[in-house]
Structure 1
């Protein structure tokens, strides 16, 4: 954004600080009008013919813009993928601990990557891993917490399922 003497056009279309159109005038006259009001002449539409300029307090405008940007940034939430690793023949207590972790992650609004890690010959029985993943997904669905984003799939020595939190309105 160009302001005051940085503007290079000979003629400009001017809007007042109250957004009232003042018409097309020579740049010198527009600058004089802005100076009389102790404000800046800011080019808001440089590609228009003639360029559109507004008389405003540029410092105040910049401050308001920063405030708006900060507010928008505050409302943004990055989605994090948290991983819960289990084994195909997991004990009940360990399963409960992992399940509670998954619930906590989902309540925080994070996605959960459930991973069943196979060791050695356990890979020859992927149905055991799928059973664990399906059990956890079914429990979470029963609590109306998740959407299965990616079904259980064997990747190397791991079986992975991705769950995302259900957005409640």
Structure 2
């Protein structure tokens, strides 16, 4: 049957009784496996996504502490998503969030570039930073 279909007869499970075989294009199968392995290594080498959570009324010291972590994430090759979360009456003053985002972008400007600027989405403001 494999010769008629111009394919290969591949033994899948030799330990089973009777042995299990499959009719397939073995060359194509090996090619797809190599391609799959190569694709997965690229994703891990590119780095992941880390998140920095800030608030519109964040204290100076708290912001500096988070920025040190953000710098470390960027130097390790990760992208950083900065998320500013608004609660209650803070929603009436998004300018405070934009100011915090500006400070973050300014502090990390030497090691990062702004991939997507700060924008509101419900009660969250997000900005994406990538390594320079």
RMSD: 2.8
Runs of 4+ deviating beyond 3 Å: 71-75
The structure with the larger Rg is: 1
For residues 61-76 of structure 1, the aligned pairs below 5 Å read 72=38, 76=42
User: Any unmatched runs of 5+ in structure 2?
Assistant: 5-26
**Match for residue 90 of structure 2?**
122
Q: Deviations over 1:89-140 (max 9, x none)?
A: 1111101111011111111111101011111010110000000011110111
Aligned length: 107
TM-score (norm 1): 0.53
**Match for residue 105 of structure 1?**
73
Shift of 1:77: 4.1
Larger RCO (alpha carbons 8 Å, 6+ apart): 2
**Match for residue 92 of structure 1?**
60
TM-score (norm 2): 0.67
User: Within the alignment, does 1:151 sit opposite 2:126 as a pair?
Assistant: no
